[in-house]
């Protein structure tokens, strides 16, 4: 009797849960070099590929070690070989691996990684440029389908009807059904992700491309990310102090709202952001990247920001308003920099805004938040039809599995 029950349980598990196996892997000694257009060959032999991330180091003779699991970043594997996140080079800064894939059958790296200083790391170049690992994902073991003897026992399939909801809270709980992909890429519109997802948002602004990358398991519920460029005008001029000059003439408001349209300020894992920078500013040492602390109204320096030729990249565990400032004492107002002053320029760690200047700014921020909440509501409403259809389909599959299980139990009892 117990053997029969165990057999039924095993069959049921095989019907519902396909099994796959995977393990950590190393780089093959004969296939370990990638090519950077800026620094030449990079040796990946000390990199470890795991089911969820990459660890260890790559080596460049020109620029030193590249770490794949730094304290404030990391390169992640979604389990199917699609990489995301950032590695850190001691002489190269952040390197984005979101454009790289690892074959789950051959272990071959493909695509390219990129960074402001490293340039483009290519895994597909024709001349001695090939990185492979012995990490693979085993083929899925198909479910065991036992032979079913025809029976006249009626099977009643419940009818599933979808119910529309009008409140934002009900709609948000229903929306979770469509978030089944591992990574979400969004261009020119807000990014919506669930806790188990990673995401990338890209937005073209008047001054250039702004991007943000969010690792998986970094939000508590369904969260919407926004990128806004706020051009300097009379409504926000109070944010620029007299001894500074705002680069690009714009602030970058990057923020997130939860399913209740409340701001999400802090995150468990770092977020990776790039802001545009004019190419004629690439050799200046008087620039500082700052985030606005709206508690004490101070601009706070981000000291490890990497200034490249056309952008500045950095990682933070919180979202707010960001800006690039030049110290006024190194600019004579003509737009040309006196090179004798650049190296001696002091980049302050914080810039304090007078409270008397903030009332108009706060009124504008409140109005903008209300507009963003409306945009989030419309964005989620546009997916409600898809959510309903997806939810109905999932329920149909569940009831089909249950019906098969009932048939198996019925057959076992008949044989007894």
- pLDDT of residue 3 exceeding 90, the answer is no
Identify whether 193 is part of a domain. yes
**Cβ neighbours of residue 214 under 8 Å, at least 6 residues apart?**
191, 193, 198, 199, 200, 201, 225, 267, 271
| Boundary residue ending a domain (103, 133, 163) | 133
**205 and 301 part of one domain:** yes
Please give the full DSSP string across 193-241, using - where no structure is assigned.
E-TT-EEEEEEEETTEEEEEEE-SS--SS-EEEEEEEEE--TTTGGGS-
Which pLDDT value is given to residue 8?
Answer: 53
**200 and 307 part of one domain:** yes
Which of the four pLDDT bands, split at 50, 70 and 90, describes residue 412? confident
- pLDDT of residue 157 exceeding 50, the answer is no
Q: How many domains does the chain have?
A: 2
Could you give the C-alpha distances from 256 to 263, 293, 294, 299, in angstroms and in order?
6, 16, 15, 20
Indicate the DSSP class of residue 176. G
Q: For residue 384, which of 190, 174, 181 has the smallest C-alpha distance? A: 174
Arithmetic mean of pLDDT, 290-318: 88
- pLDDT of residue 214 exceeding 80, the answer is yes
> How far is residue 82's CA from residue 79's CA, in Å, rounded to a whole number?
7
Which of the four pLDDT bands, split at 50, 70 and 90, describes residue 345? very low
- pLDDT of residue 266 exceeding 60, the answer is yes
- pLDDT of residue 372 exceeding 80, the answer is no
Lowest model confidence (mean pLDDT) among 29-38, 84-93, 293-302: 293-302
Identify whether 79 is part of a domain. yes
Question: Which residue range forms the structural domain that includes residue 190?
Answer: 179-381
Which pLDDT value is given to residue 90?
Answer: 81
Average pLDDT over the chain, rounded to an integer: 76
Arithmetic mean of pLDDT, 383-411: 68
**222 and 278 part of one domain:** yes
Which of the four pLDDT bands, split at 50, 70 and 90, describes residue 397? confident
Which pLDDT value is given to residue 168?
Answer: 33
Which pLDDT value is given to residue 265?
Answer: 86
Please give the full DSSP string across 3-42, using - where no structure is assigned.
HHHHHHHHHHHHHH--B--B--EEEEEEEEEEEETTTEEE
Identify whether 308 is part of a domain. yes
Q: What's the CATH number where 274 sits?
A: 2.60.220.30
Which pLDDT value is given to residue 366?
Answer: 55
- pLDDT of residue 68 exceeding 90, the answer is yes
- pLDDT of residue 339 exceeding 80, the answer is no
Which of the four pLDDT bands, split at 50, 70 and 90, describes residue 279? confident
**For the chain, what is the radius of gyration of the CA atoms?**
27
Identify whether 159 is part of a domain. no
Lowest model confidence (mean pLDDT) among 154-158, 284-288, 371-375, 392-396: 154-158
**106 and 199 part of one domain:** no
- pLDDT of residue 124 exceeding 70, the answer is yes
Which pLDDT value is given to residue 218?
Answer: 92
Which pLDDT value is given to residue 349?
Answer: 67
Count other Cβ atoms within 10 Å, centred on residue 67: 19
**124 and 263 part of one domain:** no
- pLDDT of residue 355 exceeding 50, the answer is yes
Exposed, middle or buried: residue 368 (CB in 10 Å: 0-12, 13-18, 19+)? Answer: middle
- pLDDT of residue 263 exceeding 60, the answer is yes
Q: For residue 73, which of 218, 210, 208, 189 has the smallest C-alpha distance? A: 218
Asked if residue 190 lies in contact with residue 224, where contact means CB atoms within 8 angstroms, the answer is yes
Q: For residue 302, which of 312, 310, 255 has the smallest C-alpha distance? A: 312
Arithmetic mean of pLDDT, 333-344: 36
Which pLDDT value is given to residue 280?
Answer: 76
**39 and 120 part of one domain:** yes
Arithmetic mean of pLDDT, 348-353: 65
**92 and 234 part of one domain:** no
Identify whether 192 is part of a domain. yes
Lowest model confidence (mean pLDDT) among 31-45, 270-284, 333-347: 333-347
**105 and 186 part of one domain:** no
Q: What percent of the chain has pLDDT over 70?
A: 66
Identify whether 194 is part of a domain. yes
pLDDT single digits (tens) 5-47? 545 554 554 444 444 444 678 999 899 999 999 999 999 999 9
Identify whether 250 is part of a domain. yes
**199 and 99 part of one domain:** no
Asked if residue 322 lies in contact with residue 291, where contact means CB atoms within 8 angstroms, the answer is yes
List, in sequence order, every residue forming a beta bridge with 101; answer none if it has no partner: 82, 110
- pLDDT of residue 365 exceeding 80, the answer is no
Q: What dihedral do alpha carbons 306, 312, 313, 314 form, nearest 10°?
A: 70
**189 and 284 part of one domain:** yes
Which of the four pLDDT bands, split at 50, 70 and 90, describes residue 102? very high
Arithmetic mean of pLDDT, 106-127: 88
> How far is residue 92's CA from residue 122's CA, in Å, rounded to a whole number?
16
Lowest model confidence (mean pLDDT) among 178-182, 389-393, 394-398: 389-393
**62 and 123 part of one domain:** yes
Identify whether 395 is part of a domain. no
**334 and 225 part of one domain:** yes
């Amino acid at each position: 009797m117990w053997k029969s029950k165990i057999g039924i349980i095993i069959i049921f598990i095989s019907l519902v849960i396909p099994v796959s196996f995977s393990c950590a892997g190393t780089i093959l000694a004969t296939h370990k070099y990638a090519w950077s257009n800026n620094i030449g060959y990079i040796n990946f032999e000390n990199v470890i590929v795991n089911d969820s991330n990459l660890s260890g180091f790559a080596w460049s003779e020109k620029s030193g070690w590249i770490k794949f699991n730094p304290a404030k970043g990391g390169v992640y594997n979604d389990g199917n070989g699609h990489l995301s996140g950032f590695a850190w080079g001691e002489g190269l800064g952040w390197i984005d691996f979101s454009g790289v894939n690892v074959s789950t059958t051959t272990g071959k790296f493909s695509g390219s990684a990129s960074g402001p200083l490293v340039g483009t790391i290519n895994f597909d170049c024709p001349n001695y440029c090939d990185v492979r690992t012995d990490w693979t994902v085993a083929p899925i073991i198909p479910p065991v389908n036992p032979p079913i003897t025809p029976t006249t026992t009626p099977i009643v399939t419940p009818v599933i009807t979808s119910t529309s909801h009008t409140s934002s809270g009900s709609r948000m709980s229903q929306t979770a059904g469509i978030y089944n992909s591992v990574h979400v890429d969004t261009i020119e519109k807000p990014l919506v992700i669930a806790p188990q997802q990673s995401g990338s948002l890209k937005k073209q602004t008047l001054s250039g491309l702004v991007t943000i990358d969010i690792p998986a398991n970094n939000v508590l519920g369904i969260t919407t990310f926004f990128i806004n460029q706020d051009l300097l005008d009379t409504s926000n001029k109070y944010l620029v102090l007299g001894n500074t000059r705002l680069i690009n003439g714009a602030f970058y408001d990057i923020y997130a709202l939860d399913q209740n349209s409340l701001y999400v300020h802090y995150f468990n894992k770092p977020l990776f952001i790039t802001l545009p920078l004019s190419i004629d500013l690439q050799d200046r040492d008087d620039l500082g990247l700052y985030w606005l602390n709206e508690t004490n109204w101070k601009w706070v320096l981000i000291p490890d920001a990497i200034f490249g030729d056309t952008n500045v990249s950095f990682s933070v565990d919180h979202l707010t308003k960001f800006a690039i400032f030049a110290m006024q004492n190194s600019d004579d107002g003509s737009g040309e920099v006196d090179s004798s002053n650049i190296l001696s320029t002091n980049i302050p760690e914080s810039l304090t805004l007078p409270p008397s200047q903030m009332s108009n700014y706060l009124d504008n921020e409140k109005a903008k938040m209300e507009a963003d909440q409306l945009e989030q509501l419309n964005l989620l409403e546009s997916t409600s039809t898809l959510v309903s259809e997806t939810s109905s389909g999932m329920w149909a599959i569940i009831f089909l599995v249950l019906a098969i299980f009932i048939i198996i139990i019925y057959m076992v009892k008949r044989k007894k």
